[in-house]
Amino acid sequence: MDDQTSTATIAVKIDASGLTCPMPVVRAKKGISSIEVGQLMEIIATDAGAMADFAAWTRATGNELLSGERQGEFFRFVIRRLK
């Protein structure tokens, strides 16, 4: 993980563990609206479809997916709010 996505720079953390589509994205939408442009949001999910869902969601909303990685049974995403 690089300095851009270190926990010190995360403005909001969303735990969407155990939720299935579309709920991780619904939680992300609420989370991103609670932070300022330029800030970072971290999302933890367990839904296997989350990788494709967050890639598509960030493209559709104009935000930036800085990282998306599998960590054991969890998926961790870091998104920068751009709009």
**Residues annotated as catalytic (active site), given as ranges:** 21
Closest to 50 in 3D by CA, of 81, 80, 30, 21: 21
Euclidean distance between CA atoms 38 and 71, whole angstroms: 25
Read off the amino acid at residue 21: C
